[in-house]
Amino acid sequence: MNIDPEEQECEVEPLYDFDEIARGIRLLCAPTQVYEIRALGVYRAGTVSGYFDADSRKAMVDGCADVSGEAEGVYVTLNPVIPSLLARAVNRLREFTKHTTGDAEIAERRWLPLDFDPVRPAGISSTDGEHEAALAKARECRKHLLSLGFAKQSLVLADSGNGAHLLCRIELPNDDVARDLVKSCIDAVATKFSDEVVKVDRTTYNAARIWKVPGTLACKGDHTDDRPHRLARLVSVPKKIEPASVDLLRELAQFAPQVALPASRAIWTGTAKSFDLEAWLAAHEVPVSSPKPKDGGRIWVFPVCPWNPQHTNGSAFVMQRADGPIAAGCHHNGCQGKGWRELRALYERTSQVDASAARPAWLATASPAIRKKFEEAIRTQNNN
């Protein structure tokens, strides 16, 4: 059959590479543990998920191959899950899955995941240039980690199909201390290597993180000449994998930016110990969660950001150290520059206009759904 050369150039890669899938599963999965396979955005099947034990690695590989090309991406939990989850779907994949692995359902942490993602609009594949930039950034990071004392035997470099993955083998329990250590390590790498072209994903520290299965097809958006679908692949794998020491992880974590209270904007600098932040929050009916311990002080979280009502994921906060200084802010980039002084002025200015309705100014023009959520948050706070 004659194939038009232009059509041949547009052909997508094979839907899967069976041998590469098997190689990836052997690398990522401990031989005696249970793992979840999850495929996202499967046509007419939603999220497809299943759990596989140590005796069913062949079925695991078969399942990944079957769904590759039909899903936006095929993933595996980086860390093993508790064995009881096997009962959700025993060594098979289920369509329209309702229950997937949560952080509390992870047995232990085995990998420190670093995801180098090209900056581009959401929902589309990367260009060849963007793809190569991410791989180059991951290689640069690998050299940096080696310079810090990390061994080659602990580092795995992979092509995610759109960007690059760098994994460091670790051995940590699934607890808060390990979570914070992993998060700090990722923050340290992101601070050094993120730029306007490639970003290091800072959110990959959660224990139940899923990871692209090598040998499966990354299918974000439609396959086009300039933004093709590509197979994820392993690039550099040591012959023998050895975990990095906790001391090395702690050394890396020291380069993470410290959570400090900005001196000019977010700290209340009056007679610090005499200012009762909790009383101020109550007096101005500020809708925040109950306080929790934080770095020797306390932190309150907003269900709805006071500066942007679209931020409803607990990203906004106000906190006070034990010795008095106060900070406030929101983790979203669009709220950079908002701090304690801005928060205080927002509520105190509103109180001067109408003391019985201490509401942020944006509430008047917010959608009915946002206003309802805000009022419910205030009622909940007042009832606690």
pLDDT, one tens digit per residue, over 159-212 is: 999 999 999 999 999 999 999 999 999 999 999 999 999 999 999 999 999 999
Q: Report the pLDDT averaged over residues 96-119.
A: 96
Could you give the residue range(s) of every CATH 3.90.920 domain in the chain? Answer: 5-253
Which residue in 257, 383, 280, 273 sits closest to 328, CA to CA? 280
Q: What is the structure's pLDDT at 324?
A: 80
Q: What is the rounded (10 degree) CA torsion for 174, 57, 19, 140?
A: 0
Higher pLDDT, 257 or 83: 83
Residue with tokens 């008095």: 324
What is the Cα–Cα distance from 330 to 333, expressed in whole angstroms?
Answer: 8
CATH 3.90.920 matches 5-253: yes
Residues 6+ apart with CB under 8 A from 23: 214, 215, 234
Neighbours of 304 (CB within 10 A): 24
Q: Token pair for residue 210?
A: 């899923």
Q: Token pair for residue 272?
A: 């610090």
Mean pLDDT of the chain: 85
Question: How many alpha carbons fall within 13 Å on the CB side of residue 282?
Answer: 9
Residues 6+ apart with CB under 8 A from 71: 39, 40, 41, 42, 48, 219
Higher pLDDT, 8 or 244: 244
Residues 169, 157 contacting (CB under 8 angstroms): no
For the full predicted model, state whether its pTM sits above 0.75.
Answer: no
Q: What is the rounded (10 degree) CA torsion for 189, 194, 199, 202?
A: 40
Q: Token pair for residue 44?
A: 């007419």
Of the candidate ranges 102-116, 212-226, 292-306, the one whose mean pLDDT is the lowest:
292-306
Of the candidate ranges 35-39, 81-85, 301-305, 369-373, the one whose mean pLDDT is the lowest:
369-373
What is the Cα–Cα distance from 131 to 218, expressed in whole angstroms?
Answer: 12
Q: What is the structure's pLDDT at 51?
A: 98
What is the Cα–Cα distance from 293 to 299, expressed in whole angstroms?
Answer: 6
- The torsion angles phi and psi of 275, rounded to 5 degrees, stand at -90, 120
Q: Token pair for residue 86?
A: 């096997």
pLDDT-derived band of residue 325, with 50, 70 and 90 as boundaries?
Answer: confident
Q: What are the tens digits of pLDDT across the range 329-382?
A: 887 767 777 888 888 888 876 544 343 344 565 666 555 666 666 666 666 555
Q: What is the structure's pLDDT at 354?
A: 40
Q: What is the structure's pLDDT at 378?
A: 60
In angstroms, how far is the first alpha carbon of the chain from the final one?
74
Share of the chain above pLDDT 70, in %: 82
What is the Cα–Cα distance from 325 to 97, expressed in whole angstroms?
Answer: 47
- 134 class by beta-carbon count within 10 Å (0-12 exposed, 13-18 middle, 19+ buried): buried
What is the Cα–Cα distance from 95 to 47, expressed in whole angstroms?
Answer: 6
Of the candidate ranges 54-63, 254-263, 288-297, the one whose mean pLDDT is the lowest:
254-263
- The torsion angles phi and psi of 81, rounded to 5 degrees, stand at -100, 165
